[in-house]
Amino acid sequence: MWIATPIGFFSVVQKPFEPNGVLTVRARAKEDLENLRDNYLGHNMSQITTDERADYHHRATTTTEAWGVALTSMARHIDYSNFKNAVKAEQGSERAGIYGRVWSELYQIQKPSPSTLVQDETFDPTKGEEIQDEPFDFFHEDDVEDQDDETYGPMSKG
């Protein structure tokens, strides 16, 4: 599971050598795991280990139960209307820019037709400079009428 949050980016897996119910939480930045421990897992997270030869340099373990409680708590603490702006506020423009580029790459899953794609100039994913709370960064001209459902519709942003 990949999870991108305002406090960090995590890859959570069940390693075959770990007992059932023990998850490995991996991060690119040690600070992300420290934030996770300090804000959500506390003593339910093992010591952070670092191995610069590994694809994710920083790792810790927790139980599936503790991870579930942490995810629930993260969900209950969502108080922002724009995720990338929350990342910028919590971790700065550089991290927001990285998340913005990931957002842009994942946007390709929708496979928009280049002839109908219109770009909103309020967000540059390479710079993480989204300031305005617009309904959506990119949209199809055919979807403009669907902007009324800002919560779950095709125009919602995250």
**For the chain, what is the mean pLDDT?**
81
Strands (E), 49-143: 49-50, 58-63, 117-119, 138-140
Determine the Cα angle at 56 with ends 51 and 62, to 5°. 90
Q: Model confidence over 92-129: pLDDT tens digits?
A: 999 999 999 999 999 889 876 665 555 555 555 555 55
Give the pLDDT score at 126. 57
pTM for the full model?
0.70
Domain boundaries, the chain: 2-76, 83-148
116 vs 74: which has the higher pLDDT: 74
Residue 20, both tokens: 């059932």
How far from chain centre, in Å, is Cα 157?
Answer: 13
